[in-house]
Every structure is written in structure tokens, then in C-alpha cells.
Amino acid sequence: VALGELPDYPWDQMAPFAATARAHPDGIVDLSIGSPVDPTPALIRDALAAATDAHAYPQTSGTPALREAVVAWFERRRGVTGLTEANVLPTIGSKEFVAWLPFMLGLGSGDVVVHPRAAYPTYAIGAQIAGATSFASDDPASWPEGTKLVWLNSPGNPDGRVLDVPALAAAVARARQLGAVIAGDECYAELGWDGRWATEPVPSILDPEVTGGDLTGVLAAYSLSKQSNLAGYRAAFAAGDAALIARLTTVRKHAGMMPPAPVQAAMLVALGDDAHVAAQKELYRARRAVLKPALEASGLRIDESAAGLYLWATEGRDAWETIAALADRGILAGPGPFYGSFSPEHVRFSLTGSDERIAAAASRLTSAGLR
């Protein structure tokens, strides 16, 4: 493993733009990172507080109650039927799962990990940790022989792209042809906005219409970080193929990778309550409704972004020029190049600003534009 060769965290490159944005007389509006800004709901904090007597080791596989809650959540919120407790596994947030899955599956030199072209960087980092090769592609026909793991991400970060049932099914079919594991990273699934996703749930890779009722080789990752403002708790889970879940559970037992017992107790309560998820979604809906027209008025075109936590936008010039122009208006966004080499002219706006900060950004954009 060439851990010494991992790249520096790219956010360091943002420092000069952050300094410029912070110097704005009305303060910075930081929309560069998808870190929740609203409080953790009281019922979840209470569940954590009630579980602080945690003298015994927690279960790597999750408490039976938590596993049942994950199964019930998939059925209720995602339309995924047929799961049992053997199909689920809690994780310490989902980032560690993304980063370590190739290694935990035993991938190495010569193996290929496919991920989307515009992608969360951790898919490629995970390939690198395992010593495997990453390959960016959204076209299943182009996935090469030697592919051992495919990452899908719907709704996508950074672009908000949603894969419908036929697209998911085609990806699963191709992965099966290659003998690869396929994993859907679905952490933005509750945040559908436009077109059919305004009314229909975003489909899961575990949907029986996608898998044909056979979960072999298929995994989903989900996180409570965004839907429940729990990013600081590190609360997430994986689900799918029972044989893979059992293998991963064994590795994780040996490696000591289990969510703390109080966090498992908090997750259980979070998964049972749909009201706070709906309330949070309404906050993001309102912020999106303010920010999107303001970005458009300032000359940015919004691409994709039908679901998820971000607006994916371009002015048709180099992303860093847009980042600089935004910083001059006190606004920090994420440059497309942080999400791979296929998005040199895009920038990503996170909806994770307070109502007041999003309104400030909108008023600066509509009054002064970007050029």
C-alpha cells in the first residue's frame, strides 16, 4: 500500500480564495463543503445521551434492534423489500466504508475500481489504498475487463445526477458480466427536487426491479450525516449481498471498526423518525429556491442537480476563474477539478448555508453579478 503517495488534501488550494471571501464586509458565505449547519434533532441527541452507559464492547454487526431498523427503513423509505438482518452492517460514517471497501474486498494490483466521471474523491483514494487502479466512467459498456468493484453515486456528488431503475439495472448487469462487486453510494437519496424526483423516491441499487431479486455482488451505502444532521456522530450503514456483508463484518470485527454503542442507539431512533428528515428537506428546499435563481441571474448555468445537496454550475469559463469571481463577492464554492478532470468549468455550491447566509449570497449575486 502506497499510503505515503496519497495526495495532499486538496482543500488547501482553497486557502487564498477563502481569505478573499472572509474579507468581504458582510462576511463569507461558505458553500464549499457539504457539512450540515442545522442542529441535530433533539430526539436523536436524547437517544445518544440516554445511552452513555456503554461499558461493554459494541457489536460490529450492529445491535439486533439497529439492524431491524435498517431493514425497516429500506422497505419504508426506499421500497427495498426482502432484506433481513443478515443483509445490513453499520459503519462509522460512510466515508471510511468508501475508502476501505476495495482493501476489505481484497483488491490489489491489477484490479480496477470504476467510479463516476464527476465524483466524490474518496472512490479513487480507496482504490489507491488497496493498490488497485481507478477508472472514471459513466458508461457501463466501457468498463474494462479486470474491473472488480464499481461505484455508482445516485443522487450524485457533485452533480446531483440521478440514475433511474433502467440505468441502475444496466450497471448491475454489466458488473455481473465482469464478475465485479457493484456498490451504490446513496447518501443523498432523501433529497429529490426536480422532475419525477420531486414526487418519486430516488431508486436504490437494492431495489428488486434493479437486482431482479438477486443481491449477489450488490451493495448500497447510506449515511445519516445529511438527512439527520449527524455528520459529527459518524452514523451510516451498508446493505446488500449477505455473503459480502458477512465477509466485511468479519474483517471489521478483527480491525475494530464498529460505531460506538451510543451512536448505534442514536441511529436506531433517527431511522425510526421520518418527521425530522422531512423538516430538514424543507430547509434545503427553501435554500435551493433562493440560491438557484440567484446563480442563474448572475450568469451561471445549472447542470443536472435534480436531487442531492448541491447545485452544479458553470459560467463556461475555467472553474478557478469562477471561484475567484465568487470569492470577490465573499462566496466560497467548490471547484469542479476537485471532482476529477472531466469538469474543468464547473463549480459546486452546497445548500449547507444558514437561511441568512444563503440569502446574503443571493443578494450579492443578483445585485452585482459575477463579471
Ligand X SMILES: Cc1ncc(COP(=O)(O)O)c(C=O)c1O
Closest contact distance (angstroms) between CB of 33 and ligand X is 8
Q: 95 to 114, contacts with ligand X by CB under 6 A?
A: 95, 98
Q: 34 to 63, contacts with ligand X by CB under 6 A?
A: 34
d(CA 84, CA 68): 8
Count Cβ atoms within 10 A of the Cβ of residue 268 and give its class: 0-12 exposed, 13-18 middle, 19 or more buried: buried
Q: Which residue's entry shows cell 468549468?
A: 345
Q: What share of the chain is helix, strand, coil (3-state, %, to 5)?
A: 45, 15, 40
Of 101, 236, 271, 307, the residue at the interface with ligand X (CB under 6 A) is 236
Is position 153 an interface residue for ligand X (rule: CB under 6 A)? yes
Is position 148 an interface residue for ligand X (rule: CB under 6 A)? no
Is position 94 an interface residue for ligand X (rule: CB under 6 A)? yes
Which CB atom, from 259 or from 330, has the smaller least distance to ligand X? 259
Is position 157 an interface residue for ligand X (rule: CB under 6 A)? yes
* Among 17-25, 93-101, 168-176, 259-267, the segment contacting ligand X (CB under 6 A): 93-101
Closest contact distance (angstroms) between CB of 307 and ligand X is 12
Which residues, other chains included, contact 289 with Cβ-Cβ below 8 Å and sequence gap of 6+?
none
Contact 351, 309 (CB under 8 A): yes
Closest contact distance (angstroms) between CB of 323 and ligand X is 19
Which CB atom, from 237 or from 298, has the smaller least distance to ligand X? 237
Contact 195, 170 (CB under 8 A): no
Residue 211 has phi, psi (to 5 degrees) of: -90, -10
Is position 17 an interface residue for ligand X (rule: CB under 6 A)? no
Which CB atom, from 25 or from 39, has the smaller least distance to ligand X? 39
Residue 254 has phi, psi (to 5 degrees) of: -65, -30
Is position 229 an interface residue for ligand X (rule: CB under 6 A)? no
Q: Which region, left, alpha or beta, applies to residue 135 given φ > 0 means left and ψ of -120 to 50 means alpha?
A: beta
Which CB atom, from 89 or from 360, has the smaller least distance to ligand X? 89
Closest contact distance (angstroms) between CB of 217 and ligand X is 20
The strand pairing partners of 237, in sequence order, are 90, 222
C-alpha cell at 369: 453579478
Is position 161 an interface residue for ligand X (rule: CB under 6 A)? no
Which CB atom, from 150 or from 360, has the smaller least distance to ligand X? 150
Per-residue contact flags (x/-) with ligand X for residues 178 to 217, judged by CB under 6 A? -------x-x------------------------------
Is position 280 an interface residue for ligand X (rule: CB under 6 A)? no
Q: Which residue's entry shows cell 445521551?
A: 49
Which CB atom, from 148 or from 234, has the smaller least distance to ligand X? 234
Of 93, 184, 192, 337, the residue at the interface with ligand X (CB under 6 A) is 93
Q: Give the CB-side neighbour count of residue 34, counting CA atoms within 13 A.
A: 20
Is position 149 an interface residue for ligand X (rule: CB under 6 A)? no
Which residues, other chains included, contact 244 with Cβ-Cβ below 8 Å and sequence gap of 6+?
105, 181, 217, 219
C-alpha cell at 239: 446493505
* Among 2-10, 18-26, 92-100, 282-290, the segment contacting ligand X (CB under 6 A): 92-100
**In Å, what is the CA distance from 53 to each residue of 48, 49, 235?**
10, 9, 19
**What is the number of other CB atoms lying within 10 angstroms of the CB of residue 85?**
17
Is position 231 an interface residue for ligand X (rule: CB under 6 A)? yes
Which CB atom, from 185 or from 241, has the smaller least distance to ligand X? 185
Residue 215 has phi, psi (to 5 degrees) of: -85, 5
Contact 364, 292 (CB under 8 A): no
Which CB atom, from 171 or from 360, has the smaller least distance to ligand X? 171
Q: Which residue's entry shows cell 422532475?
A: 195
Total interface residues for ligand X by CB under 6 A: 14
Site residues for ligand X per CB under 6 A: 34, 93-95, 98, 120, 153, 157, 185, 187, 223, 225, 231, 236
